[in-house]
Amino acid sequence: MTRYSFAATLAVLSLAGGASAADLGAVDQPIKLAVNEWTGQHVTTHIAGEMLKAAGYEVEYVAAGMMNQFQAIADGDIHATLEIWSSNVSDEYAVKVDEGTVVELGNLELAAREGIAYPAHVAEICPGLPAWEALKACAPQFATAETLPAGRLVDYPADWGTPGADRMTGLELPFKAVPAGSEAALIVELKAATERKSPLLITFWQPHWAMSAYDVQFVDLPAGEDACFTDPSWGPNPNAVNDCDFSPSRIFKAGWSGLQDNWPAAYEILSNYTLAVEDQQPMMGAIDVDGGKVEEVVATWMSENEGKWRPVVDAALN
């Protein structure tokens, strides 16, 4: 389903309902935004920062580790972090929320997904895709010397866990999972398979620029419900867990508990800020593939897509 960034409709409804403009607050103090380790987060954060600047704020970007940033936010040294993945968040986040020093700012609404995937051309090699059952008959097409007679699944790097292998076992699919050496190695696999039109099954995720660049599609697996991971009787294989897709990921935002009092309009802007995968992924590609600078790529997007972000800023100020 297509998602629209920064829904203008909500802004209009809010104004129609008589909502008053929020105060700018302490404009003499910079708002500090966390910059984490991956390109998509850089894009997300710089868009938010440019929206705040358009409202009249000074913004600073602060390098911060995803897993250990929450103490700095609780202390007020960082004021917001804009792309938290529920599948990869430290226990400290919940502790800080419970103690009231960190507050959630709502969903970013990126359509996040992890799963078993393939470049689109593979559907011609394995008719029946994206249905997962098609892989049972097609496995020999994916076999290599190291996996014969099983098909080959290129899994996440070993230090990311074994989610692909777990699903091959859970669904009794005749594939051997081979860990990639790195994220870059996963991209090399996608590039080579696309250029050669060769078979490839891979564990992957979105948002990621490669999803668009190599027309990556997800295999339709049984829905990833909680029972799948604890109850062998659940799902198509009554003798195993993990016979399903990945659990859905939620991507959300959080901030310092003093954000709303110190900068009311900024709090409203960041709370209402959303971003669509179809907007983020091409910007990631422009940076990681084409060598663009995040500031320049974001500036271009904002100038060409003002209707997607300006209504949120205006709703907070007018």
For the domain covering 31-111+249-317, report its CATH number: 3.40.190.10
In whole angstroms, give the CA distance from residue 59 to residue 298.
15
pLDDT for position 18: 34
Given the structure tokens 């696999």, which residue do they identify?
189
Q: Which two tokens stand for residue 276?
A: 């669509």
Residues 6+ apart with CB under 8 A from 229: 241, 242, 244, 247
Instruction: Tell me the C-alpha to C-alpha distance, in Å, between residue 236 and each of 11, 34, 41, 62, 318.
Output: 45, 43, 36, 47, 54
Confidence band (pLDDT; 50, 70, 90) for 9?
very low
Q: Which two tokens stand for residue 143?
A: 């076999």
In whole angstroms, give the CA distance from residue 301 to residue 278.
12
pLDDT for position 112: 86
Q: Are 246 and 224 in contact (CB under 8 A)?
A: yes
For the domain covering 113-229, report its CATH number: 3.40.190.100
In whole angstroms, give the CA distance from residue 164 to residue 178.
9
Q: What is the pLDDT of residues 15-62, one digit of tens each?
A: 333 334 679 999 999 999 999 988 999 999 999 999 999 999 999 999
Q: What is the pLDDT of residues 249-261, one digit of tens each?
A: 899 999 999 999 9
Query: Domain locations in the chain?
Result: 31-111+249-317, 113-229
pTM value?
A: 0.76
Q: Which two tokens stand for residue 197?
A: 């039109």
DSSP strand pairing (59-63 vs 102-107): unpaired
